[in-house]
Structure 1
Amino acid sequence: MNDLQNMAELHAAGAIIKHQSPFASLPSHENGFELPTSILQQWVKPYYMNVGSGNDEWIEPFHRVKSLITYDLTTLLLGDFNWRTRKVGAYFAAVNHYTDLVDVIGTHFLKSELCCVGSMYTLVLASFNNSQSVTYLDKYLHYYLKRPDLHFDQQSAMEASLYLDAINGTNLTSQHFPHWERLRQQWLHSFGLSLQYLEEQLAVIQHLRN
């Protein structure tokens, strides 16, 4: 019964696919305790379905509480083993430009332990636009583009890498295109890459930073 309960809890947290990767041994930032319900109600429930979405009704009210979002709160959210809290924590890191959390976010991204949050990590890495962001995206693409059995966030990683190439005047993504095209064929994807969503969401983050 304990094993079944543990499996149910992991599933609810977003740990859907168990997989081995060369990143499994990387140390993750984890709290090791459950977050108080008050934090979940105040900071996670109102935002986890809204951040990174096309819904903008939450944006102006968010300005009134943004000053209450501290570094400690952000690290607490990122340290919780649940896709909802980590998604919100990553977004808060982007809004407050907590770039020293890039290793926490990048490691979570590489390990891909939880569903529904990887595309948020790519958005945040693109918003940070530093050398670590580029490195984490590059490492992710080098490995996961060669794993068609893992239908994760390869597309959003490619788009974030392309975006950073465009604004930094680099061409690092070109090395990944052969593997990306092969992956698309294996997945039977007909759609291509687009920066529209990424640029729109980065504009929202910039608006919230001001």
Structure 2
Amino acid sequence: MHHAHEDAELLALVRRYVTPERRYLKLGGGVLRMPGPERDRFVRALGEDARLVTPDEIATLLKGGWRERRTATWLIAVGRRTEFRERIGELLLASEVCCVGSAYCVALAGFGTPRDAGLLGAYLDRYLRRPDLAYDQVVVMGALISTDLNLGDDQAARFLGPGGMWEQWLHDAPHMQPTVDPATCLSPIRRLCAFVDECAETE
């Protein structure tokens, strides 16, 4: 992982894409709570930057910390940069830094192909076996269910059956409620994907 204060190229990109108006803090649930005029400005600016940012700039941002990776992943999602699919899958599975998992999920759910569903499933295969880790299991499940709905597929089913990995994880994870209806995982990711679509459609 690179640190902006030690990398002049990364620092310049942070100042260009990450920190203006504290963008990195707003990406995620915060975008859904913005008042109208602020939201409109944010949508236009994010859409424009997603068109302007280069693949090399994205790759550099993805080497940074959580702020850089979150911003880069949203730019990937809005710009439909599917060439970064595998890299996002790797970063999600590695879970090296906090506060980025939902961004990875928004991008993969937005791409919405069987390969994206496979990457989300790989994460659940690994981390539903770790009830000691409160990572991104819930948001990843929401993204997988969303992708299934769009594809007419049911890759989430292997996790959700009675006595399956989801039920066992909920039972064994001390930080979770006794039951979490998988359907409640779906709404946030669908709303964020709709926001991505709105940004992508700006001119």
Normalising by structure 2, report the TM-score: 0.80
The answer on 1:118 being equivalent to 2:107 is no
Q: What are the within-5 Å matches in structure 2 for residues 24-173 of structure 1?
A: 33=7, 35-45=9-19, 46-53=22-29, 54-56=32-34, 57=38, 58-80=42-64, 82-173=65-156
2:190 is aligned with 1:199: yes
Matched residues in 2 for 1:148 and 1:100: separation? 32
Following superposition, the deviation at residue 184 of structure 1 comes to 1.3
Q: Which residue identity does 2:147 align to in structure 1?
A: L
Higher helix share: 2
Deviation, structure 1 residue 77:
1.0
**Secondary structure of the corresponding residue to residue 172 of structure 1:** coil
- Which sits farther off after the overlay, 192-201 or 156-165? 192-201
What letter matches 1:144 in structure 2?
A: Y
Rounded to whole Å, the distance in 1 between the matches of 2:75 and 2:47 is 12
Find the aligned partners of 1:176 and 1:33 in 2 and give their Cα distance. 42
| Distance in 2 between residues matched to 1:128 and 1:65, nearest whole Å | 19
Question: Which one is further off, 36-45 or 89-98?
Answer: 36-45
- Structure 1 SS opposite 2:26: coil
- Provide the C-alpha distance between the structure 1 equivalents of 2:192 and 2:45, rounded to a whole number of angstroms: 17
Task: Give the aligned length.
Answer: 180
Q: Aligned equivalents of 1:209 and 1:156: distance in 2? A: 22
Q: 1:185 aligns with which of 171, 178, 184?
A: 171
Shift of 1:199: 1.1
The TM-score, its normalising length taken from structure 1, stands at 0.78
Judge conservation of contact 1:103–1:132 (CA < 8 Å) in 2. no
Structure 1 letter corresponding to 2:55? Y
The letter of the residue matching 1:62 is L
Report the more deviating stretch, 55-64 or 39-48.
55-64
Distance 1:34 1:109, change over 3 A: farther
Deviation at 1:182? Answer: 1.4
Deviation at 1:66, TM superposition (A): 4.4
Counterpart Cα distance in 2 of 1:108 and 1:66: 20
Contact 1:119 1:157 in 2 (8 A): yes
- SS of aligned partner of 1:47: helix
Task: Classify 1:157/1:64 alpha carbon distance in 2 versus 1 (closer, same or farther; 3 Å).
Answer: closer
Give unpaired runs (5+ residues) of structure 2: none
CA deviations 1:66-105 (Å, max 9, x no partner) are 443222222221122x011001111100111000100111
